[in-house]
Chain A
Amino acid sequence: MKTLWYILPFIVVFQSYAQLSDFGTVNFYKADSIALANKHEGLSNLPQLAHKLTANLTTDVEKFRAIYLWVCTNIANDYNLYLKNSRKRRQLQHNSKKLEDWNTRVTKEIFRKLLKREKTICTGYAYIVKELSTLANLKCKIINGYGRTSTTDVEKLNAPNHSWNAIQLNNKWYLCDPTWASGIPSPKTNAFIFQYNNGYFLTNPELFAINHFPTDSKWFLLEERTPNFETFINAPIIYSKAYTNLELHETPKTMHHVITKHTTVDFKYTLLKPITDKDISLVIDDGYNSKTIHPKNIRINTPALAFNHQFNSTGFYDVHFYIKKDLIATYTFKVETIN
Chain B
Amino acid sequence: MTKQLNFTQTTLGAFKSTFGIIGIVMITLLFSNTMQAQNTATTSTTQAEQELTVTGTVADEFERLEGVSIIKKGTVIGTATDKNGAFTFPKPLKTGDVLLFSYIGYEEIEIKIDKNNTVINLVLTTDAIEVVGALQTDKPYKSKRKK
Residues in A lying within 8 Å of B, measured CB to CB: 43-48, 50-51, 55, 77, 79, 81-82, 85-86, 89, 103-104, 106-108, 110-111, 114-115, 121-123, 127-128, 131, 134-135, 137, 142, 144, 146-152, 159-163, 179-180, 184-185, 187, 237, 239-241, 285, 287, 316, 318, 320, 327, 330, 332
Q: Could you pull out 30 A-B pairs where Cβ atoms are within 8 angstroms?
A: A46-B104, A47-B71, A47-B76, A48-B76, A51-B76, A111-B105, A122-B134, A127-B129, A128-B104, A134-B102, A135-B69, A135-B71, A137-B74, A142-B129, A144-B130, A144-B132, A147-B134, A149-B136, A159-B132, A179-B133, A179-B134, A180-B136, A184-B136, A185-B135, A187-B137, A187-B138, A240-B136, A287-B145, A316-B143, A318-B142
Report the separation of the CA atoms of residues A115 and B68 in the bound assembly, to the nearest whole angstrom.
11
Give chain A nearest CB distance to B134 CB in angstroms.
Answer: 4
- Of residues 67 to 86 in B, which have CB atoms within 8 Å of A's CB atoms? 67, 69, 71, 74, 76, 78, 80
Q: Known contacts A47-B78, A114-B104: does B133 contact A187 (CB below 8 Å)?
A: no
Q: How far is the CA of A131 from the CA of B76 in the complex (A)?
A: 14
Per the bound structure, the CA–CA distance linking A18 and B131 in Å amounts to: 38
- One of B131, B138, B141 near A121 (C-beta < 8 A): B131
B108 contacts A by Cβ under 8 Å: yes
- Given known A-B contacts A127-B129, A160-B130, A237 and B135 have beta carbons under 8 A apart: no
Asked whether B139 is an interface residue with its Cβ less than 8 Å from the other chain, the reply is: yes
Out of B74, B133, B136, name the residue touching A86 (CB < 8 Å): B133
Interface size class of B (residues with CB under 8 A): 20 to 34
A sample of 4 more A-B contacts (CB under 8 A), given A107-B105, A240-B136, is A48-B78, A131-B104, A150-B140, A162-B133
Q: What residues on B are CB-neighbors of A110 within 8 Å?
A: 105, 131
Bound complex: CA A43 to CA B68 (Å): 11
The answer to whether A107 touches B131, judged by C-beta atoms less than 8 angstroms apart, is yes
Question: When the two chains form their complex, are residues A163 and B102 in contact, meaning their CB atoms are under 8 A apart?
Answer: no
* A11 CB, nearest partner CB in chain B, Å: 34
By secondary structure, the B interface counts as loop
B42 on the A face (CB < 8 A): no
Least distance between B129 CB and chain A CB atoms (Å):
6
CB neighbours of A149 from chain B (8 A): 134-137
Tell me if B126 is interfacial: C-beta within 8 Å of chain A.
yes
Cross-chain contact A103 with B130 (CB below 8 angstroms): yes
Q: From B133, which residue of chain A is reached at the shortest CB distance? A: A121
Bound-state CA distance A317–B145 (Å) is 10
In whole Å, how far is A164's beta carbon from the nearest beta carbon of chain B? 10
Contact, CB under 8 Å: B142 / A135: no
Q: Which residues of A contact B136 (CB under 8 A)?
A: 149, 179-180, 184, 240
Identify the closest chain A residue to B102 (Cβ): A131
**Residue contact B137 to A150, C-beta cutoff 8 Å:** yes
Q: How far is the CA of A332 from the CA of B138 in the complex (A)?
A: 17
Top 4 nearest A-B pairs (CB, nearest first) are A121-B133, A111-B105, A180-B136, A147-B134
Q: Which residues of A contact B67 (CB under 8 A)?
A: 44-45, 115
**Quick one: given A44-B80, A55-B76, A107-B105, are A185 and B141 in contact (CB under 8 Å)?**
no
Contacts of A144 in B (CB 8 A): 129-130, 132
Chain A residues with CB below 8 A from B143, complex form:
287, 316, 318, 332
* B contact residues around A237 at 8 Å (CB): 141
Measured between alpha carbons, how far is A108 from B74 in the docked complex, in Å? 29
Report yes or no: A318 in contact with B76, Cβ–Cβ below 8 A.
Answer: no
| A123 near B138: Cβ-Cβ < 8 Å | no
Residues B104 and A127 in contact, CB atoms below 8 Å apart: yes
Report Cα–Cα, A115/B136, bound state, in Å: 23
Nearest chain-B residue to A317 (Cβ)? Answer: B143
Residues of A within 8 A of B129 (CB): 107, 123, 127, 142, 144
Binary per-residue interface labels of chain B (94-131) against chain A in the complex, 1 for a CB within 8 Å, 0 otherwise: 00000000101100100000000000000000110111
Alpha-carbon distance between A187 and B137 when the two chains are bound, in angstroms: 8
Q: Chain B's nearest CB lies how many Å from the CB of A334? A: 10
Using A135-B69, A163-B132 as known contacts, say yes or no to A185 and B74 having CB atoms under 8 A apart: no
CB within 8 A of A184: which of B102, B108, B138?
Answer: B138
In the complex, chain A residues whose CB is within 8 Å of the CB of B76: 47-48, 50-51, 55
Do A123 and B140 contact each other (CB < 8 Å), given the known contacts A131-B102, A135-B69? Answer: no
